[in-house]
Structure 1
């Protein structure tokens, strides 16, 4: 089983961004030294948090990430032109030596669609067309594409990717139709593990597996990433005491957006069912359940708004020494 971290580059407006980024870069370097497998960047526009943009962040993390995979978790694809994405990720593929993953989603925040003049009703059609065009451009062959949004005539990109066919594409999706889309268009479904319902992951995994079979793909050959919230301390009581106030603050900030208001109202359910705050023994038990569902790449946010860097790093160290080995020896 693999383990990765979100480079959670979201900060209170007005904070010293340079200091935050220096802390983040040090944390990523530590994660590489500790043997973590991947690091992921975040994408939002006109956010209520100061959020550096993900492509620039990925480029800055390449020399700091050892041999870790690097990806976007996730890129809001309808806000980008697919030619731009194809060119940028072909470049990142070369700069990283083939370590990049393009993680994409369709978006949900109304203000972001408005900022780019994108009708939210078109986002899934844009999403589908963009992925088809990106893959075609990554082939290296001239592309003529009679699309609804992004027509191209005899088009090629300036640099073909280092990875034949281009970097893997992971699709973040929460609805069942979107999960089927991930099976049809992506190399993996990047599953959100923060639903308050314990039924969400098993039910949506079943949809995903059925769709893979329908589209002629072997379910045993696809990556199985899941994103969670996680904090490790010597005891579960200590983990909850140290992490919960910061997690609550961050989720309250997200809940300012209409689509996420439920997170404020159901935060206690999130804590009980999905926030992995606990001792190494507690985390081994909870992660074992995810592994038993079939997930093979756990990606987690290691800290939340206002959490001291030294506590975040102590959690990463303890997790690396006391939890990860339990899964390295059994897979």
Structure 2
């Protein structure tokens, strides 16, 4: 089992962004020292929280992360031109020594699509074309491509990736059709672990495995990441007391977007079913359940709005010391 952290670089607009980023970089450096496997950046535009852009964040994190994998969790691919993404991630692949993952998703916030003049109904078609075109460009050979959304004529990228064929591609997906698409287009399905429906993950793992076979891929060879919310303290009572107010504040902020209002209305269900707030013993049990479902790379947000950095770091340290050994 691998363990990674979401950098979670989202902050209230009125607060000191540079101070927050300095704290974040220190936390990521600690995670590297403690032996965490990966770190992931966030992508939003015109957000109700100050959200530095993920490609710039990855570049800043490369010298601070040792041998950790660094990726986007996720990049809103329909809002980018695939030639831009192919060049940027080939560059990051070179800069990082081959440690980058391109994690992508279709997006959901209406204001983001409006800002770029993109019809949200086209997002899945754009995602599909973009990934096919990016992979072709990563070969380094001239590409001629004529699609519904993108076209190139005898074009090649200026920087070839260090990794043969380009960085791994993870596709975030939360519905049956989208999970099938992830199996067809990606190297991994980045599963959302915050559904209040306890059958969501096992049901969709089965969908994913069947779709992998249909695509001619071996289910036994793919990486299986899942994103969750996690906080570790000596007792579960302490973990809940320290983390829950901050998690509630962050989820309430997300719920200002129509597509996520359910997270405010069903927050208590999320707490019970998906927020991993607990003692090391409780977390070993709950992570063991995710491993039994089939996941082998747990990625978690280690803190939420307003949580002091020292609390975040204490949780990361305790988790590494007392939970890692149960899975490695």
Secondary structure in structure 2 of the residue aligned to 1:261: helix
Q: Are 2:130 and 1:130 aligned? A: yes
2: CA distance, partners of 1:311 / 1:35: 18
Give the total of aligned pairs. 328
1:279 is aligned to 279
Deviation at 1:170, TM superposition (A): 0.1
Q: Are 2:226 and 1:259 aligned? A: no
2: CA distance, partners of 1:305 / 1:263: 16
Residues 98-247 of structure 1 aligned to structure 2 (within 5 Å): 98-247=98-247
1:325 is aligned to 325
Give TM-score, length-normalised by structure 1.
0.99
Q: Which moved more, 1:141-150 or 1:34-43?
A: 141-150
1: CA distance, partners of 2:310 / 2:318: 12
2: CA distance, partners of 1:203 / 1:155: 41
Residue deviations 1:31-90, cap 9 Å, x none? 000000000000000000000000000000000001000000000000000000000000
Question: Unpaired runs of 5+ in structure 2?
Answer: none
Deviation at 1:164, TM superposition (A): 0.2
Deviation at 1:135, TM superposition (A): 0.1
2: CA distance, partners of 1:30 / 1:13: 26
Secondary structure in structure 2 of the residue aligned to 1:43: coil
Deviation at 1:138, TM superposition (A): 0.1
Secondary structure in structure 2 of the residue aligned to 1:15: coil
2: CA distance, partners of 1:264 / 1:68: 34
1: CA distance, partners of 2:245 / 2:104: 30
2: CA distance, partners of 1:259 / 1:148: 27
1: CA distance, partners of 2:135 / 2:303: 34
Residue deviations 1:172-210, cap 9 Å, x none? 000100000000000000000000110100111110001
Secondary structure in structure 1 of the residue aligned to 2:305: coil
In the TM superposition, structure 1's runs of 4+ consecutive aligned residues that sit over 2 Å from their partners are none
Residues 83-102 of structure 1 aligned to structure 2 (within 5 Å): 83-102=83-102
1: CA distance, partners of 2:14 / 2:158: 38
Q: CA RMSD in A?
A: 0.4
2: CA distance, partners of 1:300 / 1:321: 16
Residue deviations 1:141-167, cap 9 Å, x none? 110001111100000000110000000
Give TM-score, length-normalised by structure 2.
1.00
Secondary structure in structure 2 of the residue aligned to 1:130: helix
